A = this chain, B = another copy of it.
């Protein structure tokens, strides 16, 4: 049986299809993206067309296209028999993602530095405060949403049409796994480098921003590698 996506992490419904604008497929895709990014989808869990369609109250058609889209970004895995599932993580894959992030995201940060103003520093500060709260409160889902917002507020300023989609694809790939790890080790152990990043944005210091982002990535991903595979060896084949 297919579990409604809202029940992936816990039981509440939330808004599975943000009533925002756009076509049905667009709303479905946004909804799935959000679910992936906040870890509502558990790695290894099968995802069915009709199941999702029913959960979202639409026909299977827009779901098909949305899934195909996400699969093309490697956010979902379509097995040879057509079955769709959230990709499972392996140490090799994780190492590759880390490498790719370290190459692309600092570059994006550097390019963004020129466009970021004091208003952005303030917005980032606000986000970071909320992030700290979610860490203290142990709210992994909120943390992931805000952390994504923090990073992409910076990256978007680079006005990059090429690098940004690549990075977005990477985030979609490790997010579900990240959520699992946080669920086990808790969010308390999280230490980010957002403060340095904010300071760098305020100063307009591109090099410092690059360094802060790189350190932030390294810290976060190291946690995944250590906690994800040493403390919790059976993480990647999680069945609900």
Contacts and interface: CB of A to CB of B under 8 A. Distances in A.
Nearest to A92: B161
Interface residues of A, number: 29
Interface string A55-71: 00000000011001111
Interface string A141-184: 00000000000000000001111011001100100000000000
Main secondary structure, interface of A, reads helix
Contact of A96 (B69, B160, B169): B160
Interface string A95-111: 01101100110010000
Contact of A97 (B68, B70, B93, B162): B162
A25 to B, nearest CB: 8
Copies of this protein in the complex:
2
Nearest to A101: B162
Contact of A162 (B64, B70, B82, B170): B170
Contacts of A125: none
Contact of A69 (B69, B103, B107, B166): B69
Contacts of A70: 72
A100 B65 contact: no
A30 interface: no
Contacts of A64: 65
A96 B108 CA distance: 10
A162 B96 contact: yes
B96 A163 contact: yes
A74 interface: yes
A73 interface: yes
Nearest to A90: B161
A74 B165 contact: yes
A166 B105 CA distance: 14
Given A64-B65, A69-B69, A162 B103 contact: no
The 4 closest A-B CB pairs, nearest first, are: A72-B72, A96-B162, A69-B72, A103-B103
27 contacts: A23-B82, A68-B68, A68-B72, A69-B69, A69-B71, A70-B72, A72-B72, A73-B73, A74-B161, A74-B162, A74-B165, A92-B161, A93-B161, A93-B162, A96-B160, A96-B161, A96-B163, A99-B107, A100-B162, A100-B163, A103-B103, A103-B104, A103-B107, A162-B170, A165-B169, A166-B166, A166-B169
